[in-house]
């Protein structure tokens, strides 16, 4: 089975699954981490996959640059994954090697990519029965893959703690604006705006290096004074809590 066929089959399978609201399922392949950090000085990084299910699975892996609907063969990224396609038996694992090919990337900030894992279940014997309608599901997992150049100033923990916050009004809504003045990606998992005795939920988003991003505040129609409580995900997948005054 070619890489192209596996990827194109994903859309059909996921669309079909969307109509089965009473069906519950989850992926069997587990990745050894919630994100992958690739230091520029590393020769390569190793990623572990584990099949915790009861059936052998065909697994395809690739990186994308944020365009998650593009065929992997059309993405010209400076990394190679070995092996890109593998079979993982039940209760077994597979180690993947990701190698940077040395193409020039920005040196003053991190570059964000996404690591994809697509698992295809084996065709069941019942599927050979033409009179039997059966749906087989493919599951896709997608986590952050961050290329970190050598010599960046500061560190990721300080970058998260030093995010600053402001607000702006757009029509009948209030937007909370996160400012990241560091060269590191800041992965924000939750945000709350506190003003007096009121707490407002915020639709959180992560912030790229040297950038800002707006997040709508729920149930708030005018700007307020107060503080922002937010949580970020660190390099190891742990949660760090922060609080900052609203500017």
pLDDT at position 20, please? Answer: 33
SS3 151: coil
β-bridge pairing 93-100 and 85-88: unpaired
Q: What is the mean pLDDT of the chain?
A: 88
With 60 as the cut, is the pLDDT of residue 118 above it?
Answer: yes
pLDDT at 3: 40
DSSP codes joined into one string, 53-104 = SSS-EEEEEEEESS-TTS-GGG---SEEEESSEEEE-TT-EEEEEEEE----
Distance CA 48, CA 58 (A): 15
Position 165 scores a pLDDT of 98
Query: Which candidate, 47, 40, 34, 32, places its Cα nearest to that of 78?
Result: 40
Residue 22 pLDDT > 50: no
pLDDT in tens, 77-104: 999 999 999 999 999 999 999 999 998 9
pLDDT at 133 over 60: no
Q: Which residue has the higher pLDDT, 13 or 231?
A: 231
Q: What is the pLDDT of residue 136?
A: 66
The more confident residue out of 11 and 184 is 184
- With cut-offs at 50, 70 and 90, classify the pLDDT of residue 184: very high
What is the bridge-based pairing of β-strands 173-180 and 164-170? antiparallel
Task: Give the pLDDT of residue 27.
Answer: 87
Say what the pLDDT of residue 137 is. 76
Contact assessment for residue 165 and residue 174, using Cβ atoms and an 8 Å cutoff: no
- 190-205: per-residue pLDDT in tens? 999 999 999 999 999 9
Alpha-carbon Rg for the chain, nearest whole angstrom, is 21
Closest of 74, 53, 52 to residue 63, by C-alpha:
74
pLDDT at 128: 56
Q: Evaluate if residue 131 carries a pLDDT over 90.
A: no
Q: How many helices (H) and strands (E) does the chain have?
A: 2, 16
pLDDT of the residue at 134: 56
Q: What's the predicted TM-score (pTM) here?
A: 0.85
Query: What pairs with residue 167 in β-bridges?
Result: 176
Q: Is the pLDDT of residue 13 over 60?
A: no
Q: State the pLDDT at residue 129.
A: 57
Pairing label, strands 187-195, 79-82:
unpaired
> pLDDT for 23-82, tens place per residue?
345 789 999 999 999 999 999 999 999 999 999 999 999 999 999 989 888 998 999 999
Residue 8 has pLDDT above 50, yes or no: no
Q: Pairing relation of β-strands 227-233 and 239-245?
A: antiparallel
Is residue 146 within 8 Å of 113, Cβ to Cβ? yes
Report the SS3 class of residue 5: helix
Q: What is the pLDDT of residue 72?
A: 85
Report the candidate in 140, 181, 128, 157 with the shortest Cα–Cα distance to residue 239.
Answer: 157
């Amino acid at each position: 089975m070619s890489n192209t066929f596996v990827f194109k089959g994903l859309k059909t399978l996921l669309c079909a699954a969307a109509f089965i609201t009473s069906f519950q399922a989850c992926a069997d392949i587990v990745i050894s981490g919630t994100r992958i950090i690739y230091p520029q000085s590393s020769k390569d990084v190793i990623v572990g996959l584990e099949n915790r299910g009861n059936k052998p699975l065909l697994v395809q892996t690739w990186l994308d640059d944020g365009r998650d609907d593009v065929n992997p063969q059309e993405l010209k990224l400076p990394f190679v994954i070995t092996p890109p396609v593998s079979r993982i038996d039940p209760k077994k694992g597979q180690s993947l090697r990701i190698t940077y090919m040395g193409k020039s990337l920005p040196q003053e900030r991190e570059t964000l990519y996404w690591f994809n894992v697509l698992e295809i279940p084996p065709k069941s014997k019942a599927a050979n029965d033409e009179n039997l309608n059966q749906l087989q599901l493919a599951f896709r997992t997608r986590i952050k893959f961050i290329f970190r150049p050598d010599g960046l100033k500061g560190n990721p923990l300080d970058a998260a703690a030093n995010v600053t916050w402001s607000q702006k009004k757009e029509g009948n809504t209030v937007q909370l604006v996160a400012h990241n003045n560091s060269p590191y990606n800041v992965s924000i998992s939750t945000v709350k705006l506190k003003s007096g005795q009121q707490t407002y939920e915020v639709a959180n988003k992560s912030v790229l290096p040297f950038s800002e991003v707006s997040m709508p505040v729920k149930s708030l129609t005018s700007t307020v004074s107060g503080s922002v409580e937010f949580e970020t995900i660190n390099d190891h997948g742990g949660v760090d809590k922060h609080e900052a005054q609203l500017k």
